[in-house]
Structure 1
Amino acid sequence: MFTGIIESLGTVRDLKKEGDNLHITVFSSITNELKIDQSVSHNGVCLTIVAINNDEYTVTAIRETLEKTNLSDWKTGDTVNLERAMKLGDRLDGHIVQGHVDQIGTCKSIENANGSWYYTFEYDALLNNITIEKGSITVNGVSLTVVNSKQNEFSVAIIPYTYEHTNFNAFEVGTRINLEFDVIGKYVSKLHLYKK
């Protein structure tokens, strides 16, 4: 379980295919605080640490994960948003994030708002995920508030701190991002489908 508050940025150092699996080696300033078997959110994807070597660690993504996230787009040198699992009893500064990506979205537009930024993302509405105005959404692991909610798109407003301390500053129009919709909203949406 995560909060969507990014702790650190990591750099993809190596990518190795093995069958349908992808082994991802990441450099991070928090590596010395990690341990094997620990869960870490990578751009919103919960992955288990399988090896640690000095200031780098390795995680493995299986086919299911690669098909539902943007991990297959990653290249050596890419910057990744990192968050360790929350501790029971800590403050929940973001919102409840499972680290289970629901689908991939695409950056539709970026608007510089003289000190902040508005990012608009679109996604496939046929997968029955929803946003609501002022509701929570996780974009590449970052807990954000939805503005301008529509059937298959939404916007978020980014403050300078978030812009500087996450990989939002690398987004361009067309960038594919990981989306995890609000867990409570997902249950409500599912109940609505069952009532039909």
Structure 2
Amino acid sequence: MFTGIVETVGRVAEVTPAGQAVRLVLSAPELFADVALGESIAVNGVCLTVAGISPRGVRFDVVPETVQRTDLRELRPGDRVNLERALRPGDRLGGHFVQGHVDAVGTVRSIERAGAAYLLRVQAPPAVTDYLVEKGSVAIDGVSLTVVDVDAEGFSVALIPHTLATTTLGQRQPGDRVNLEADILGKYVARQLRLRTAARPPAEEPLLRLLQEEGYTS
């Protein structure tokens, strides 16, 4: 579990295809100084497990399903990536609960200046937008952000200068692909509503039963 508060921006040291999988080696000395094998790290919002540690950096083995469902397959040596270590007991929850399980890959539609901030518009499928609400939360490349609005094509978020300076979002351009994860709480609420709707009898059934009891119909 993560919070969507990026701890540092690392660099891709190596990208090695392994069949349909990919092996990544990332460099971030200040974050990885005491990292351990088996530890979970969010890389651009994707939960990965530390598989090896060397002077070159920390190695992650990205399985085929993750390669297909995220934009990690597009990484190249030298690229910058958002990094966050898993939440520990006692840590402050500065953003929102982020699982590191990407729902879909979206596309940056536009980035516009809005006063002291910027408005980032993202094209996204229903797999993401169905769970978004105005002033709710969404993770973009692992960054916890507040939804400004949602429309038929996607959604928008506001980016403050600090976020632009301390994450990779400051380098994003229209057409770039980004990892998206909707708020898990929104998913739970939507699931419960679907279950309630499926279990509820049609609205006319109680009336029909009452009419039958009174002898008005058979």
Equivalent positions of 1:20-99 (< 5 A) are: 20-29=20-29, 30-54=31-55, 56-99=57-100
* Equivalence for 2:208: none
State how far apart, in whole Å, the 2-side matches of 1:134 and 1:55 are: 41
Equivalent positions of 1:1-196 (< 5 A) are: 1-29=1-29, 30-54=31-55, 56-125=57-126, 129-194=130-195, 195-196=197-198
- TM-score normalised by length of structure 2: 0.85
Larger Rg: 2
- Judged with a 3 Å threshold, the aligned counterparts in structure 2 of structure 1 residues 52 and 76 are, in CA distance, closer, same or farther, namely same
CA RMSD of aligned residues (A): 1.5
1:131-177: CA deviation from partner (whole Å, max 9, x where unpaired)? 10000100000001000122441111111111000001110001100
* Corresponding residue SS for 1:187: helix
Q: Which runs of 5+ in 2 are unaligned?
A: 199-218
Structure 1 stretch 58-67 or stretch 144-153: which is displaced more?
Answer: 144-153
| Identical pairs, percent | 39
Relative contact order, higher structure (CA 8 A, sep 6+): 1
1:78-108: CA deviation from partner (whole Å, max 9, x where unpaired)? 1100000011122111001111111111100
State how far apart, in whole Å, the 2-side matches of 1:24 and 1:105 are: 22
State how far apart, in whole Å, the 2-side matches of 1:55 and 1:83 are: 19
Deviation at residue 184 of structure 1 after TM alignment: 0.8
State how far apart, in whole Å, the 1-side matches of 2:187 and 2:143 are: 18
- TM-score normalised by length of structure 1: 0.94
* Corresponding residue SS for 1:49: strand
Q: Which runs of 5+ in 1 are unaligned?
A: none
Structure 1 stretch 175-184 or stretch 122-131: which is displaced more?
Answer: 122-131
The number of aligned residues is: 196
4+ residue segments displaced more than 6 Å: none
State how far apart, in whole Å, the 1-side matches of 2:127 and 2:78 are: 33
